[in-house]
Structure 1
Amino acid sequence: MKDNIVYVSGTFDLFHSNHLKMIRYGRGLGGTLIVGVSTDELVCSYKNPPAIPFEERISIVEALKYPDVVIPQHSLDHHDLVNKINMDIFVIGDDWLGKYDYLKELGVKVFYFPYGKGVSSSNLKKQIHKEYEKLIRASDDHEIPVVKK
């Protein structure tokens, strides 16, 4: 297990505790931990753009103590990456459950990290938007008080 190369995949937008838990989990699975951070272009190919630009997201992940290497992730297809980095283990959030089972045929162990009902960037964005809409409605009804420092 110490010789395993573990690849953790994610967008890591609005970095939160479940991101950290997933990366730390990956660290515990092998000797070398590589974290792939999805580029803005990749994320925009399947959902709304990230709130935090790629350069900032990758800098945040690079600053963590757990990864040995942090790389840009340009594709959701990891066929080529398996051979390029000699990947033994692949970790991704369970919101992608089943999507990467094809890696098992390439000899890679796949782990879907359980976010459960915890924090997710998508849920954070929804909550922020909901609170913003409340503020807009309140400002339409009343003048918003100025907060003095």
Structure 2
Amino acid sequence: MSKERIIVYTSGTFDMFHSNHLKMVNYAKALGDLLIVGVSTDELVSSYKAPPIVPFEERLAIIEGMKAPDMVIPQRSLDHTEIVKKLHIDIFVVGDDWTGKYDYLEDQGVKVFYFPYGAGTSSTVLKEKIYESYSEIKKRIDNHENPDIIKIPNKK
């Protein structure tokens, strides 16, 4: 009798896709035989933090274009109870900024792994850097002196 496949689920916003997103998805893939990736809808993300910069359809397309996922689906809820049942999830992987929030899945027999983002890149940090950089540039532009205007004598 052959061993049953291990199904891994990971999910996220995946806004402004960066190397930590890639690392987490690849880590999740290495834990099992089949990887399902949930991409949070704009409505879901907006229910608990600022809306994503990159629209849902584009974030979904980016994840679909990756090598690791076997299936990519919309994620419409932060409660993963139903998705775990429907898709027979064995392992759930999420960033460590959610540590403790999904421990309830262990009661359903799901192993939960909180992927360590550490001090690396995050979409929030990227947004802050872009905003600060833009603000600095805008301040310089808005506060520069106007060049002398060259007056052209009236021609008759």
TM norm. shorter chain > 0.5: yes
* 1: CA distance, partners of 2:142 / 2:46: 33
Q: Which amino acid aligns with 1:64?
A: M
Equivalent position of 2:76 in the other structure: 74
Gap runs ≥5 in structure 1: 145-149
- TM-score under structure 1 length normalisation: 0.93
Equivalent position of 2:106 in the other structure: 104
* 2: CA distance, partners of 1:32 / 1:49: 30
Q: 1:96-135 alignment to 2 at 5 Å?
A: 96-135=98-137
How much has 1:140 moved relative to structure 2? 2.1
* 2: CA distance, partners of 1:120 / 1:64: 19
Equivalent position of 1:147 in the other structure: none
Number of aligned pairs? 144
Q: CA RMSD in A?
A: 1.4
Equivalent position of 1:42 in the other structure: 44
Moved >3 Å (runs of 4+): none
Equivalent position of 1:59 in the other structure: 61
* 2: CA distance, partners of 1:77 / 1:18: 23
Instruction: Classify 1:143/1:118 alpha carbon distance in 2 versus 1 (closer, same or farther; 3 Å).
Output: farther
Aligned with 1:87 (options 86, 89, 94): 89
Aligned with 2:9 (options 7, 10, 15): 7
**Alpha carbons 1:43, 1:49 under 8 Å: kept:** yes
* 2: CA distance, partners of 1:78 / 1:115: 21
**Which entry has the higher C-alpha Rg, 1 or 2?**
2
How much has 1:139 moved relative to structure 2? 1.2
Equivalent position of 2:151 in the other structure: none
* 2: CA distance, partners of 1:104 / 1:46: 24
**Alpha carbons 1:2, 1:30 under 8 Å: kept:** no
Gap runs ≥5 in structure 2: 147-156
